[in-house]
Amino acid sequence: MANGSGVIGELERRIEHLLGLPNPLSFSSGTAGLHAAYLALDLPPGSEVIGPVNTFHASVSPALHCGLNVLLVDVQPDTGNLCPAALEAAITPLTRCVTVTHHLGHPAAMEEITRICRRRGLYLIEDISHAYLSTLNGQPVGTFGDICVGSMQDRKSWSAGEGGLFSSPHPQLRDRAVLAGHYRGRALALDNPELAAYGETGLGLKMRMHPLAAVVGLANAEGLPERLASRRALLERLGRRLVGLPGVRPPVVRPGASMGGWFSYRPQIQLDELRPGVTVDAYLARVQDAGVPAHYPSIGSLAQMPLFSEAVPLRAAARTWRPRRCGPFHGETSYSTGRISVSVAEGDTEETIDAYGDAFADVSRALADGPVAA
């Protein structure tokens, strides 16, 4: 298995076929794949990585262990994705890499971001953990940048129970990623003799996917496009039911963007369209009472987390990990305010979705027209 044969090789071939990613590598987690990605870039200590302020921390936090620093920048108020203008404004002479996530499955503004990175000589990493089979103007996410990484943790739309993937069109970056976590086996067979000389030990880390995880990943590959298409159709149906209701907006999908499967469906409550005194808490409680599996999103802004706002208690990182928050984050505030999440499970039907839509309609009209309950 260490040489990429057997079930590991089968899964990697399936990743290439389904996602259009060249020469993929499996990893023990998406976080491990990102760790390998930052090591593969071979950047000078203290180099900066720019990422969005509202991503999951592991999109950028492995940079800490690679002698790099992180700059958090604002996002677009409609999609929650990295804002190209904020990216451009944050670049310094130390910036070497940009990491984008395709937030909740919506493709980031990759054409603009790619142009900025090419013009400024920056590496571009795509985290597609939320966005399997999403496309932008027909091009699959993960194929715009220098490196693509994805999580296959059990909540992702393509799950291996726990696992991750890495891909790069650049052979040298892929070879370094092999050394980052795949010693022996395929590491001894690298084409680059300078790197192959380290194949016995790699870089001293082991990040390979467990074969049983690969079995799970292969099983969940079956019917993946159909499952995601079904989920997408249901959530688009819900979105149509929400259009025009007072006090709530469906998530934005920009022209040219195709949602792979909506990692999370998050409408936004608009209090200015409801009666004075109505709160998001009150709206959410009523929707829940009506049977909608709705809740607040579970992860907040990275800007509020100590890892990105305070000195970490590790002397090994003291000279390089000095995260900078490039605020103000007006886009993030606009995007996040009033967001709730609706859980749509496998097995839900059009009838289920219509019932959710009816519940939203009843609550919105009641809170727009009727008295506010104490």
CATH number of the domain where residue 240 is located: 3.90.1150.10
Q: Are residues 197 and 253 in the same domain?
A: no
Q: What is the CATH number of the domain that holds 149?
A: 3.40.640.10
One-letter amino acid at 225 equals P
- Of the candidates 261, 288, 305, which is a domain's last residue? 305
Asked if 129 and 288 count as a contact pair (C-beta separation under 8 A), the reply is no
Distance from the Cα of residue 361 to its chain's centroid: 31
Would you state the pLDDT for residue 316?
A: 85
Would you state the pLDDT for residue 282?
A: 97
Q: Are residues 62 and 121 in the same domain?
A: yes
Q: Is it the case that residue 102 has pLDDT exceeding 50?
A: yes
Q: Cα torsion for 84, 90, 93, 97, to the nearest 10°? A: -50
Cis peptide before 328 (omega within 30 of 0): yes
Q: Cα torsion for 58, 41, 159, 131, to the nearest 10°? A: 80
Order of strands, sheet of 135-136, starting from the edge strand that comes earlier in the sequence: 139-140, 135-136, 257-258
Query: Average pLDDT of 337-347?
Result: 94
Would you state the pLDDT for residue 314?
A: 87
Would you state the pLDDT for residue 341?
A: 97
Q: Are residues 228 and 89 in the same domain?
A: no
> Under DSSP, is residue 269 helix (H, G, I), strand (E, B) or coil?
strand
Q: Are residues 138 and 93 in the same domain?
A: yes
Would you state the structure tokens that stand for residue 207, as one six-digit string? Answer: 């990040």
Q: Is it the case that residue 161 has pLDDT exceeding 60?
A: yes
Residue 262 domain-assigned (yes or no): yes
Q: Are residues 261 and 364 in the same domain?
A: yes
Query: Average pLDDT of 300-305?
Result: 92
Q: Are residues 86 and 192 in the same domain?
A: yes
The percent of residues above 90 in pLDDT, for the chain, comes to: 91
pTM of the model: 0.95
Domain that residue 42 falls in: 6-223+300-305
Query: Average pLDDT of 117-124?
Result: 98
Q: Are residues 212 and 241 in the same domain?
A: no
Q: Are residues 176 and 287 in the same domain?
A: no
Please count the structural domains in the chain: 2
Residue 113 domain-assigned (yes or no): yes
Would you state the pLDDT for residue 4?
A: 74
Would you state the pLDDT for residue 370?
A: 59
Angstrom distance (rounded) from CA 27 to CA 4: 11
Angstrom distance (rounded) from CA 241 to CA 236: 9
CA angle 351, 268, 159 (to 5 degrees): 65
The half-sphere exposure of 374 on its side-chain side, counting CA atoms within 13 A, is: 0
Q: Which burial class, exposed, middle or buried, applies to 340 when counting CB atoms under 10 A from its CB (0-12, 13-18, 19+)?
A: buried
Q: Are residues 205 and 256 in the same domain?
A: no
Q: Are residues 174 and 79 in the same domain?
A: yes
Would you state the pLDDT for residue 298?
A: 86
